[in-house]
Copies of this chain bind each other. A is one copy, B any other.
Amino acid sequence: MLFVVGVGLKREHLTDEAKEVISRANKVYGSSKALEIAEEWIKGEKVRMTEFDEKTYRDIEKEAEEKDVAVLSTGDPMVAGLGRFFKRARVIPGISSVQVALGRINADLCEVSVLNAHSREPEFSEVKNLLVLAKKGVRLNFPGRKMIVLENLESRDEKIYEVHDFFETESDYTIVFVEVKK
């Protein structure tokens, strides 16, 4: 099985969930920095990643069909991280630089639009998909759009399903992904 594990920006950011997954893995991939942060918890084979391309990712996926493989990502795997490159992985979240930055300047994530200018010039006008944090009874009216509803994440009642066009939220802990950008 393949896990993509966020290790945060420093050792004190590691969660117990991340530590457990890392220490159970037969093989652990990561950049120098990520391996250093997680070092204490790595028990399997350690591989320093130097290539970050399609072939590397697909080879790792193949390897993970036969054993437990953890790919470490500094920060969070889904914040300009490695998560999006692996299609069949379980993602273990970690503390990202975005969260640290927002804490330092006292701004909420909902007030900002996060842009990745690591690999290209930032595009400031681009249309984005929406991620709506909602309680019960919020009406989402998006004719022609696909929505993914995520309810009660990490609880025993976690439910993920797809709807179209219109949806009224049914749980106080709902996140709805609205596909605006095709």
Contacts and interface: CB of A to CB of B under 8 A. Distances in A.
Interface of A: 6, 8-17, 20, 76-81, 83-84, 87, 90-118, 121-122, 124, 128-135, 138, 140, 148, 150, 153-155, 160, 173, 175, 177, 181
Contacts of A17: 12-13
Nearest to A84: B108
A99 B131 CA distance: 11
Residues of A contacting B: mostly: mixed
- The quantity of this chain's copies bound in the complex is 2
A151 to B, nearest CB: 10
Given A112-B129, A131-B115, A132-B117, A93 B99 contact: yes
Contacts of A77: 103
Given A97-B153, A134-B117, A110 B16 contact: no
